[in-house]
């Protein structure tokens, strides 16, 4: 298998895993719409993925998947965090007049970065997708092809998060209406609730 085909395989698989609507994507989309620390937050998400993908390709996927205690701890923490954020999103949806783009309350840099890190590292699916899945599949590649596979997956993350963060501005005219913010926050709340519920179910199934 050529280096190019390995890189393409990594890019396509990495892209397919991160494009699905999730906590990280919903957060970056919202910050992109209000143009709040877009570059920094997009960079954090992409670099975080890069680190986790590198760890998976280097062989950490097997270690993480074999540690029930680590997986359980991250699962519980993620469920609690996502549940709280879902409540916040539903609360915002009750007051759409306060969510017009020009009046939208922006998070400070420290708060935005902390929230971004929480969405990234308190979500067990991030580890399953990057470290475990991408990492385990990299075992079928050797030498430079394996490095190219990992590089392709990392490239997909950078392309996606920066496209999402800056591309959200194209939707700004739509979100000039409070009703659009209400719909977005309801969708975010539902997604967060479902993710939190799935993590809770996943945790209790162990017993």
Q: Write out the chain's pLDDT in tens, 207 residues.
A: 588 888 888 888 777 777 665 778 888 888 898 888 999 999 999 999 999 989 888 876 556 556 677 667 767 876 887 788 788 888 878 876 444 444 556 788 999 999 999 888 887 778 877 887 777 677 667 788 888 988 999 999 999 999 989 988 887 777 667 787 788 788 878 877 887 887 788 788 877
DSSP secondary structure code for residue 108 in this structure = P
pLDDT of 38: 93
- Alpha-carbon distances, residue 141 vs 8, 10, 53, 129, 168 (angstroms): 13, 11, 15, 18, 36
Distance set, CA 31 to CA 47, 174, 176 (Å)? 18, 15, 14
d(CA 77, CA 82): 9
Q: Domain boundaries in the chain?
A: 3-201
Task: Name residues whose C-beta falls within 8 Å of residue 112's C-beta, 6 or more positions apart in sequence.
Answer: 31, 36, 37, 40, 41, 106
Q: What pLDDT is recorded for position 166?
A: 93
Helix then strand count (H, E) for the chain reads 10, 0
- Return the H-helix or E-strand segment holding 181: helix 178-204
Q: For residue 141, what are the contacts with CB-CB under 8 A and spacing of at least 6?
A: 1, 6, 148, 149
- Alpha-carbon span 165 to 162, nearest angstrom: 5
Q: Note if the pTM is more than 0.75.
A: no
């Amino acid at each position: 298998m050529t280096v190019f085909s390995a890189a393409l395989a990594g890019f396509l698989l990495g892209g397919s895993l991160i494009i699905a609507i999730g906590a990280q994507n919903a957060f970056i989309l919202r910050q992109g719409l209000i143009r709040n620390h877009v570059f920094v937050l997009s960079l954090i998400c992409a670099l975080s993925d890069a680190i986790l993908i590198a760890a998976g390709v280097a062989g950490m996927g097997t270690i993480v998947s074999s540690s029930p205690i680590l997986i359980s701890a991250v699962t519980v923490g993620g469920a609690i965090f996502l549940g709280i954020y879902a409540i916040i999103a539903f609360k915002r949806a009750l007051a759409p007049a306060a969510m017009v783009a020009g009046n939208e309350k922006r998070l400070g840099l420290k708060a935005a970065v902390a929230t971004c890190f929480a969405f990234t590292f308190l979500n067990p699916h991030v580890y399953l997708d990057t470290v475990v899945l991408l990492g385990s599949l990299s075992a079928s590649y050797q030498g430079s092809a394996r490095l190219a596979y990992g590089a392709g997956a990392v490239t997909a993350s950078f392309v996606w998060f920066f496209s999402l963060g800056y591309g959200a501005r194209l939707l700004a005219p739509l979100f000039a209406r409070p009703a659009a913010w209400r719909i977005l926050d309801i969708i975010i709340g539902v997604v967060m609730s479902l993710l939190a519920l799935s993590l809770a179910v996943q945790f209790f199934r162990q017993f």
